[in-house]
Amino acid sequence: MSDELEPQTFRITRADLVRYAGASGDFNFIHWSDRVAQSVGLPGVIAHGMFTMALVGRAVTAWAGAPDAVVEYSVRFSRPVPVPDTDEGTEVVVTGTVKGTTDEGHTKLALTATCQGEKVLSMATATIRKR
Amino acid sequence: MPLDQSFIGRSWPPTEPYLVGREKIREFARAIGATDAEYHDPEAARAIGYADVVAPPTFPVVITMTSSRQIIDDPALGLDYSRVVHGDQKFAYTRPVVAGDALVCVNSVDDITSRGGHDFLTTRTEVSTAEGEPVVTVWSKLVQRGEH
């Protein structure tokens, strides 16, 4: 197991947000209506924070090599991820670094997620079960 | 109006069990682009020791987001959901959610604070099986942005 998560890029389009809204049950208007998003001071439709957290989770479980290896997973949503209504949408880049071992022998990972060069998560960590 | 501080430390009665469906887990996994066989194929999940497909780490929010309406919809709390953004999210897992689980949520308010004109509400949801086996604890911090 390497000490680094190789940077991984996830593309996010409006279609992804629609699909995530349906699957998660989070139909908040700011994730599909530019009109409502702008009325509350956002640049436009933004991704669900939990969608970004799910993408980072994919990078974590892929690195761990097991879908059931995560013991703890925690993030702060520091900046929204605007998703323009284009074919390209936007991109989130995920990286991570091993930060040590817990008393139980689990591995602690520090994670980053950036969009357009800006950090969209802070204090993002995951703890991975010893194998 | 600030949030009602008397909600700090309050807990709500357990919710009705949520029955986790195999197709719901598959739908959620597809929506986040997760192709791991254990999320989709019961045989692959059985091979790593589970009775049916396992859910991705953030799946519990499907259940807790609905259950926590017990708290945020209470008019006495004073939360204006149109001004709410998601601040923090944390999961502590005993085991992954598995298709076939009947999951009960117990919601509590851990903290309410104010800073810089914004209000912060931290909720905790203990998710367990109907038989009382703990599965995952979920914390959410919601930020109610100040009115300008």
Which CATH number does the domain housing residue B106 bear?
Answer: 3.10.129.10
In a mutagenesis test of the B interface, which of A19, A31, A58, A68 is the best target, namely the one with the most B β-carbons within 10 Å? A68
Nearest to A69, CA basis, from A112, A109, A99? A109
Please report whether residue B41 resides in a domain.
no
Q: Helix axis angle, A14-24 relative to A49-64, nearest 10°?
A: 90
Please report whether residue B34 resides in a domain.
no
User: Using the beta-carbon criterion (under 8 Å), do B83 and A40 form an inter-chain contact?
Assistant: yes
Residue B84, pLDDT > 90, answer: no
ipTM above 0.85, yes or no: yes
- B3 vs B83, more confident: B3
Q: Quick one: what percent of chain B has pLDDT higher than 90?
A: 90
Whether A121 and A73 have beta carbons less than 8 Å apart is answered as no
* Residue B75 pLDDT: 92
A19 interface with B at CB cutoff 8 Å = yes
* Residue A36 pLDDT: 92
Please report whether residue B137 resides in a domain.
yes
Please report whether residue B122 resides in a domain.
yes
Residue A1, pLDDT > 70, answer: no
pTM of the model: 0.96
User: Structurally, how many domains does chain B consist of?
Assistant: 1
Give the domain range for residue B131.
5-20+56-144
Residue B31, pLDDT > 70, answer: yes
pLDDT band, very low/low/confident/very high, at A87 (cuts 50, 70, 90): very high
Please report whether residue B43 resides in a domain.
no
* Average pLDDT value for chain A: 95
* Residue B145 pLDDT: 84
Average pLDDT over residues A88-113: 96
Q: Name the pairing type of β-strands A107-115 and B84-93.
A: unpaired
Using alpha carbons, list the distances in angstroms from residue B80 to A30, B28, B34, B62, B121: 15, 28, 34, 21, 12
- Domains, chain A, ordered by start: 4-12+48-128 (3.10.129.10)
* Residue B148 pLDDT: 57
Report the gap between the CA of B73 and the closest CA in chain A (Å). Answer: 15
SS3 category, B38: helix
Q: Which of A20, A66, A75 sits opposite B88 (nearest CB)?
A: A75
pLDDT band, very low/low/confident/very high, at B81 (cuts 50, 70, 90): confident
